[in-house]
Every structure is written in structure tokens, then in C-alpha cells.
Chains A and B, each alone.
Chain A
């Protein structure tokens, strides 16, 4: 009688462990999926923040990339200027700025696409890459007002 009870208990335990394993495997998949969604959410939130930061700085500097670089370099380490047209910012997996580019996962680039800096219409592009793969891009346009009075002088 005791042996029958023990075997019944063990059988139940085995079946319980089996069901628990199946449920745990499914739930872990759901948790992993939630974590991946959370990472995507963080990327989108940071994309909004840095798009606005770079765009407004670029507008404030009348399309001058050097102005954007100097302003950001005063506060952040991971800022690089590549020529007169490009500013690059590097971030780690938590989207914190990093000075060492080898630790960088994300890179945000502001590129002035207008070659003539004196032109009345300036264009730029803000690009976000994750491990060299582009995931967001925004073109920007700025009109520098024409100066008058020439015709009547």
C-alpha cells in the first residue's frame, strides 16, 4: 500500500515537472519577447530625444555643423566631427554617450548635405544606426533668409 502511494506520488511529480517545464518554456519566451520590445521602445524614445536635440541645434546654428559639434562637445564625451559636414555621436547599449567608439552600439550622425555653406537653402540628414545598420533617418531643410536692398542701391 505504501509502495503504491509512493509510486503514485512520483508519477504525479514527474507529470507536474513536465507541465511546469512546458509552461516555463512558454513563459520565458514571453519574457524574452517583452524584453526585446522594451529595447525597441528605448531605442524609439532615444531616437526622438536625439532627433530633436540635433535638429534644433542645427536650426539654431543656421545649418552650421561646427556649432552643433561645439555645443554637444561641451557636455558629452562621445562626440566626433568628421570634416565640416558631419557630427557623430556614439552610445552604448543603454544609449549613454561613450567616448570609446569600440564600446559603441548606436551611432547618431548629422550630415550637412549642402556643399555650399553660403546657399540660402541648407539640407541635412540625421541618421541612427545600430551596429552599422540604419534604423531611422530624417531629412532636414533650412531656409536662410535672403538679404534685400541690392536692387535699389
Chain B
């Protein structure tokens, strides 16, 4: 009994040995945890912002392509207008509407719909843009029921 008591008192921190190690281990573990959390969080934010930036760049590249397509259409319509004898002949060769689909990303496209016009005066254009919108290419399927948001009807 006396021997075990002696052994126990030998392991106690009454003389200070071991307590500093424990404190340092605790502080180091805290530091490592916070450092890891901060770098993981910063890295995730950076990846997300890079995705947003790439998406923005892709959108404006698609926009540029759409503007060039409109330029081509405008030139074609101008040539057809010059070559057509009347409105009926013009619409027969040009059609009444046109649409372009330009991919932005794998999931999204820029969709432009234009109505072709027959300009009656010098100030009127050859087309009118009816819609200029980003559309989703494919239906996103949610596999888990938890993915849905419960909405009131």
C-alpha cells in the first residue's frame, strides 16, 4: 500500500516535471488545428473564386462570339435586303427569325433569339433581339431526397 502510494506520488506534477510538456503539446495541437483550418478554408475560397472568375470570362467570351454572329447575320441581311425586289422576296430568303446557341460551360449556353425585320426607313435595323439569356443545357438530377428544398404550396 505504502509502495503504491509512493509510486503514485512519483508520477504527480507536484515537482513540475511533465506539466510543461503537456502544456506545449496542447498548444502545438491547437496551433496545428487552427493553421490547418485556415489554410483549408482559404484554399476552398480561392478555388471557388477562381471558378467564378473562369465562369465570368467564359460568359464574356461567349458574348463576344454572339456579337460576331450578330455581325455576320446583319451583313447577310443587309446583302439580302439589297438583292431583294420587295418585302416578300426579302423574307423568303432571310426567314422571319433566327437563333444562336453558344456554349459557355458544359452545363450552360448563351441563347439568342432575333426577329428579322424589313427596314422601312434608313434608321431602322435589320433585326430585333428578343432574348439574350443563359440557359442550362441539361436537367440537373438530384439523387437524394435531402437535396430538395421543402416549399409551401
Contact = CB atoms under 8 A, between A and B. Distances in A.
Interface of A: 5, 8-9, 12-13, 15-17, 19-20, 23-24, 26-27, 30-31, 33-35, 37-38, 40-41, 44-45, 47-48, 51-52, 55, 120-121, 136, 138-143, 145-153
B71 A120 contact: yes
Nearest to B18: A12
A18 B67 CA distance: 64
A121 B71 contact: yes
A32 to B, nearest CB: 10
Interface stretch (B32-40, B96-104, B144-152): B32-40
Interface string B88-118: 0000000000000000000000000000011
B71 A48 contact: no
A143 B67 contact: yes
Question: Which of the four size classes fits the interface of chain B?
Answer: 35 or more
Interface string B6-42: 0000000001111011011001100110111011011
A44 B46 contact: yes
A17 B53 CA distance: 45
Contacts of B4: none
Given A26-B35, A148-B124, 9 more contacts: A23-B28, A34-B39, A52-B56, A120-B74, A136-B53, A141-B63, A145-B74, A148-B81, A148-B122
Contacts of B27: 20
B131 interface: no
Contacts of B60: 51, 55, 138, 140
A148 B57 CA distance: 33
Contacts of B122: 147-150, 153
Contacts of A12: 17-18, 20-21
Contact of A151 (B56, B81, B123): B81
B148 to A, nearest CB: 30
Contacts of A31: 35, 38-39
Contact of B67 (A5, A138, A141, A149): A141
Interface of B: 15-18, 20-21, 23-24, 27-28, 31-32, 34-36, 38-39, 41-43, 45-46, 49-50, 52-53, 56-57, 60, 63-64, 67-68, 70-71, 74-75, 77-78, 81-82, 117-127
8 contacts: A5-B15, A12-B17, A34-B41, A44-B49, A51-B56, A121-B67, A148-B78, A149-B122
- Secondary structure type dominating chain B contacts: helix
Contacts of A44: 46, 49-50, 52-53
Nearest to B45: A41
Nearest to A138: B60
A45 B49 CA distance: 6
A40 B20 CA distance: 39
